[in-house]
Structure formats: C-alpha cells, structure tokens
Structure 1
Amino acid sequence: MPRKPVAVLVTLLLALAGAGLCVLAGTPLPWMMGPLLATACASVAGAPTAGWRPLGNAGQWIIGTALGLYFTPQVTALVGSLWWAIGLAIAWALGLGWFFGGWLHRVNAAHMPEVAAPKMRATSYFAGAIGGASEMTLLAERAHARTDLVAASHSLRLLLVTVTIPFAMQFSGLHGLDLNPPVLRAVHGPGLALLALATAAGAWLMHRLGRANPWFMGPLLAAMGLTMGGISLSGIPSWLSNAAQLLIAVGLGVRFSRAFLYAAPRWMASVVLGTLGMLAVSAGFAWLLAQTTGLPLATLILGTSPGGIAEMAITAKVLQLGVPVVTAFQVCRLVAVLVLVAPLYRWLYPDASDAETG
C-alpha cells in the first residue's frame, strides 16, 4: 500500500473533480485533461498530492488493451504498408531530439557553470531525446547526467504536448482516419474477463523480460495478437477507459512540485520554447508525410508529435483520429529511441562519453 493512502485518495478525488469540470466545459479529452491540470496545479501550489504506482500501471494496462483491439487484419495490412513512413518518422524523431538537446545545451551551458561540461552535454542530450521520461532518466543516470533536469524536461514536454494538441485538434476541425471495429462497441462479461487474463499475462511476461513500459506494451501486444488472429472477446467499457485516462493523468500530474519550477527557471523556460518549436516543425513534417501517404493530416500529427505514446494514442482514441496508425508510429518510435539513443550519444560525443567513464 502507499505510504500516504489519504493523500492518494484526496488526489484521486481532486482528479475526478477536474474531470467533471472539463466534462461540463466540453473540453477535449476531459478524463485526461481535467485530472492532469488539476493534479499538476495542486502539486505546484504545494498541496500534498500523491500517486500510487499500481494504479498508474492499471491505467496503462487498460489503455494498452483498448488500443490493441483496433488491430484487425485489415487495419494491420494498412499499417504494414506504411513501413517506409514509419521509418522516416523514426529518423525524424531521432534528429529532432538531437536538435532539441543541442538547443538546451546552447541556451543553458554558459549559465550553469556548476555543471561540468561532459555532464551538461549528457544532461542536454538525454533531456532532448523524444522518449519516455523514466527510460531517458535511467539512461541519463548511466551517463552521469543531471537526472533531475532530465526528468523535469520530459515531464514538462509531456504536459505541454498533452494539453496543446487536443485543443488544437478540436478547434482546427481536422479529421483523422476513423477505424472502429465492431468489437470496440460490444462488451461481454466473460469475454472481458478472458481478455483481462490474457493481457495481464502479456504484462507479466514483458515485466519478467525487463522490457520498457511492460504494463502498456504487454497488454497492447497481447490484445493485438488476439485481434489480428480474428479473436474478438470483448470491447472495453467506456467508464473503464475513462478511469484509465484519469489514472494515467494523475501519474503525470503528481510529478510536478513548486521546487520543480523554481530549481532551474532558465532550463524550464528553454524546455517550453523548444517544445513549442518541436510541435510546429513536427506539424510541418506530418504535412509532408500526408502529401505522400494520402493519410489524414490529423492522424500523422499525432503519430509524429513529440508526445508520449499513451497520451497521443488516447487522443486518437477519444477524438477518433486513427488509433492504429498513431499507435504504430508511436510504438515503433519508442522502441527505436530506446535501442538507438544511447549508442548514438557515444558516437556523436565520444569525448564526453570518455570523460564520464574515465
């Protein structure tokens, strides 16, 4: 159990109130947007907010399962035909992260003399990489970087992208690739129980193998395998999907604190400006892909945006903007970044790497 069960319960009630306000206001993604903003603002204000990792894992499990149900054989064939576009998106993400890291280093290195040059290079590089916050922080720790700045950069980037893109999609009127298999609308109790067991086994296996995001990737792959094989057990109830969004949002919102913003204001300001710049140029890259693939621009913006896989896939799911394509782009990018970002660092900055290990 969590150390502060009362704080966890109060945080969940606050998140639920935030979701209710966003539902009444008609904002996009109310069950993610409301809890995220409510818990983040409360945390920055100094309130004793708290999360509980098993609840966040449960949210990842449910969303991973729900997304996997979109991958019917017909949809899988469509995604497979886009392998070249996914490859370009991976190269784009690696290059964009490198430029973002270079921007952070250029703006902050001279103003943080207390951080040694090799450590500053590693901090900027892993803070700029377009990957998961926990994974990039772990890689940064191995490179002897400032893990607090790396974690802060990724948390703030995810918050900005998660808040900005849904509003932009809703107000722009862009439409995506709406592929909703019938199984998504049919909920069967026994089938849902079997689906839960199968996807839980997938999460357990990924955890045992030490893979990244096991509570998301395991259920996603298990549900994909069943759906691609033509096995339709059950859809996911809408209330369960909403609860999962709330739990994921709370896990992100409680990362923030008052010290989080005041520790390195210049660093945080450069992260904000850099993230907004990445959103703009990524939209341009998505437009180029849309011209060559014929896919809707909204779908490709989500697929190539510098956001988190769960957050962007949820956006695609709720706004019906092409879940399978967005998920495929984001999953392939995540795997490629996790595999390549550390070797690329050693190749790009051999002097910094040698200084850290020596």
Structure 2
Amino acid sequence: MSIFFRTALIAALAGWLFETLGIFLPWLLGPMFTLLLVSQFTNIKLYWPKSLRTAGLVLLGVQIGSSFTRDAVLLMWFDLPYMAFMTLSVVILSILLGLLFKKMVNESLATSLLGSIPGGLAQMVVIAEDVKSANITVVTMMQTIRIFMVVTIVPFLTVFLTGREQGELAEQLFTFAPVASLGGLMIGLVLYFGMKRIGFPAAELLAPILTLAIVQTVTGDILIDMPYWLIAIAQICIGASLGLQMEQIGDKLTFRLGAAIVLNNVLLISFTVFIAYVLTNWLPDYIFLDFFLSAAPGGIAEMAITALATGGDVALITSFQLFRLFFILLVASPIVTYIVKRLDAKRGT
C-alpha cells in the first residue's frame, strides 16, 4: 500500500469513526486529530498532497459561495460598521497580546506581533520572511497552534450555543442556469489566476466564494447544491492537511514558549466571546453564535465548516471573516511591518 493511500484510508476511517460516535465536525476533526497522533507517536509514514488540500478548499469555497444570495450580499452593506468595529477590536488586542508575548519569552518585536495577528498561517509566514528580525520558526508555531486551538475550542464551545434549526434557515432552491454557470466558471478562472499572479493568499477558497457571490447577486439564481458526501470529502482533504501540518511542532516547542502561545490564544478567544456578546446586545435581531464565529480568530474555511454544522449564517460569518482577512493583509500587516523595519533600522539590526 502506498504512503498516500494509507494516509487517505486512516483519514477516511477517522472521519467515519467520529461520525459514528456523534463527535462534532467529524470529517474535519477526525482526520486532523488522528493523523496528528499517528505522526507524533508512531513510525508510520504519512503523506498528503497539497493538490488535495487545494481541491478541498475549492469545494468548500463553492459551498460557502452558494450561501451568498442577493439579499445576503445587500445586507453586508448594513453590516460594514460592525465588521469594522469587530476587526479593529480583534487586531488591536492581537497587537497588545503580541507585546505581552514579547515580555514573556523575550522574542523580537517582529516575531511577537506577526505571530499574534490572526492573518492566516501561510500569509503571516510570508510577511515574516521579509523582516530580518522575525523568527520564522516561532511565527509558524504561533500561527499553527492558534489555528489548532481555534479549530478545537471554538467548535466545542458552539455545542453549548443555540443556532438555527433547519426550518429557520432561509430556503435556497437550486436552479440550473447554464449561461450563468458558464459565466461563473469564466469569472472564477479569471479571479483565481489573477489572485495567483499578484500572490494574494487563499485564492483557492476566495475565488469561488467571490465568483458565486457576484453571479448569484446579479442573476438572483442559486447555482450550486452540493451533496453532503462531497462536503465531507472536502473536509477530509482539509483536516488531513491540518493534522500533518502540525507534525513537526512538538520537536521545536519549549514549555515556556508553548505556555506563552496558549495564554495568548486563550485570551484572544475569550475576547472574541466578549465582542460577540457586545454586538449581540447592540443588535438583538442577530444571534450570539453568528457573531462568535465571525470574531473567532480561525481560518475562513474552518469557521464556515463550523457554521454549516451549527446552523450559523454562513454568508454573514464569511463576510466578517473576509473583511478581517483583507484588513489584516492590506492594512494592518503592512503598517506593522513598516514600523518594525524602521525600529530595526534604528537599532542597526
């Protein structure tokens, strides 16, 4: 049996076992936890191709994008002030936690800030590579452990929150529209290759989301109706990749560094609970679950999967997560990087 087929079999069986046991998010968490444990505590060789992670993200992007109806997109304009408030609050606290982290482990300012800002693992590592005083290994560990903690803690917390029952969700009827579908395919390809050309992150996920949001808003049609088994396969692809991505962390992590990272993330997740509570009180027509998943410092893919499983408003949650991602990558990270580089230049680093 090849290494890949062995890994795929373990991932699929883990997802099935978690599903059978009634564990939350079985097809994502099952492969993630199982492959992480197998890689850490056995000598079994595992391999998961990047192409399958990409395929999983594309499928999930299509599923998320299908939730962007015309009404949902128009409602986003009303939510912009709340998106800005939530994003600024989370980013400011992340910077303050970065300063606390610096004092706790005596790392450089660049490492502490770029590791603390929730802008995505790959993106923040790429940004850190451009700053000489940044410790790439520590930034990678901080971002990876944060994703692991969010994917573990946030879904568990949502079990105790009230979502929407199936009857409360707005019914979306799939309509076969060949012209709109063909137009969507062309727009999606242009967006994807355009994002790849300029090096914009998460193109595999964002291109289908933006494409379906555009086409469905213009036409008023719902173009996609993905079956459960296909969404499960997408989650296996992403979960397996996440599990193996964390494989080498245990070899590089010290107790002091690990404790500081865990404290950093517990405080950040706790703060998102507070922000969600504030916004729910300001806007009683919304539910706490939506704002909690919108504020949670995880990836768009992981929070969308959680929203799908808990009855959250996928379009709303994705909108807030997208706003934060764009703000961090286009505004916050460049400003932080510029300031750190100036300080390094003054110190002669």
Give, as a single letter, the amino acid of the residue that structure 1 aligns with 2:21: A
| 1:174 pairs with 2:162 | yes
Q: 1:123 aligned to 94, 111, 135, which one? A: 111
Q: Which runs of 5+ in 2 are unaligned?
A: none
Between the aligned partners of 1:79 and 1:14, the Cα distance in structure 2 is 41
Question: How far did 1:78 drift?
Answer: 2.0
Structure 1: distance between partners of 2:81 and 2:324: 13
State TM-score, norm by structure 2.
0.90
Match of 1:157?
146
SS in 2 for 1:212: coil
Partner in structure 2 of residue 250 of structure 1 = 240
**Aligned partner of 1:289 among 279, 285, 290:** 279
CA deviation profile, 1:261-282 (whole Å, cap 9, x unmatched): 2323221221112211211121
In structure 2, distance between residues paired with 1:189 and 1:28:
35
Contact kept? 1:176, 1:297, Cα under 8 Å:
no
Shift of 1:126: 0.6
1:238 is matched with which residue?
A: 228
Give the structure-1-normalised TM-score: 0.88
Q: 3-state SS of the aligned residue for 2:245? A: coil
Cα 1:351–1:240 change in 2 (3 A) is same
Distance in 2 (alpha carbons) for counterparts of 1:164 and 1:263: 23
Offset at residue 201 of structure 1 (A): 4.7
Matched, 1:274 2:270: no
Q: Does 1:17 pair with 2:24?
A: no
Q: How many residues align?
A: 341
Moved more, 285-294 or 44-53: 44-53
Matched to 2:304, the amino acid is A
Deviation, structure 1 residue 188: 6.2
1:112 corresponding residue in structure 2: none
| 3-state DSSP of counterpart to 1:71 | coil
Name the amino acid aligned to 2:114.
F
Deviation at 1:53, TM superposition (A): 1.1
Which range is displaced more, 189-198 or 147-156?
189-198
After the TM superposition, which of the residue ranges 45-54 and 143-152 deviates more from structure 2?
Answer: 45-54
* Structure 2 counterpart of 1:315: 306
Matched, 1:139 2:139: no
SS at match of 2:64: helix
2:193 maps to 204
Q: Which residue of 1 aligns with 2:215?
A: 226
Change in Cα spacing, 1:187 to 1:267, as seen in structure 2 (3 Å) is farther
Cα shift at 1:204: 2.9
Query: Contact 1:176–1:299 at 8 Å: present in 2 too?
Result: no
The amino acid of 1:206's aligned partner reads: M
1:188-199 equivalence runs, <5 A: 194=182, 199=188
- Say if 1:203 and 1:218, in contact at 8 Å, map to a contact too: yes
Q: 1:7 aligns with which of 3, 11, 15?
A: 3
- In the alignment, the residues of structure 1 paired with residue 147 and residue 175 of structure 2 have an alpha-carbon distance, to the nearest angstrom, of 32
Measured after TM superposition, the shift of residue 51 of structure 1 is 1.9
Change (3 A) 1:189 1:81: closer
Pair 1:298–1:356, CA change in 2 (3 A): farther
How far is the alpha carbon of 1:308 from its aligned partner? 1.0
The yes-or-no answer on 1:31 pairing with 2:20 is: no
Residue of structure 2 equivalent to 1:66: 63
Q: Using a 3 Å threshold, how does the CA distance of structure 1 residues 239 and 191 change in structure 2: closer, same or farther?
A: farther
AA aligned opposite 2:144 = S
Q: Does 1:339 align with 2:330?
A: yes
Offset of residue 234 of structure 1? 2.8
Find the aligned partners of 2:292 and 2:347 in 1 and give their Cα distance.
37
Find the partner of 2:40 among 30, 40, 44: 44
After superposition, the C-alpha distances for 1:52-110 in whole angstroms (9 at most, x for unaligned) are 1111111111111111111111112222211100001110121122122122211101x
Aligned-pair CA distance for 1:239? 1.1
Shift of 1:346: 4.4
* Deviation, structure 1 residue 353: 3.3
Whole-Å Cα distance in 1 between the matches of residues 239 and 100 of structure 2? 28
Deviations along 1:188-237, whole A, 9 cap, x unmatched? 69799856666455423322332211101111111111211213333112
Structure 1: any 5+ residue segments left out of the alignment? 110-116
- Please report how far the alpha carbon of residue 161 of structure 1 lies from its aligned counterpart in structure 2 after TM superposition: 0.7
Sort the Cα spacing of 1:132 and 1:346 in 2 relative to 1 into closer, same or farther, 3 A: closer
Match of 1:54 in 2: 51
1:91 and 2:88 equivalent? Answer: yes
Q: Distance in 2 between matches of 1:53 and 1:68?
A: 22
Alpha-carbon spacing, 1:198–1:19, altered in 2? closer, same or farther (3 Å): farther
8 A contact 1:65–1:223 mirrored in 2: yes
Q: Contact 1:19/1:35 (CA < 8 Å) preserved in 2?
A: yes
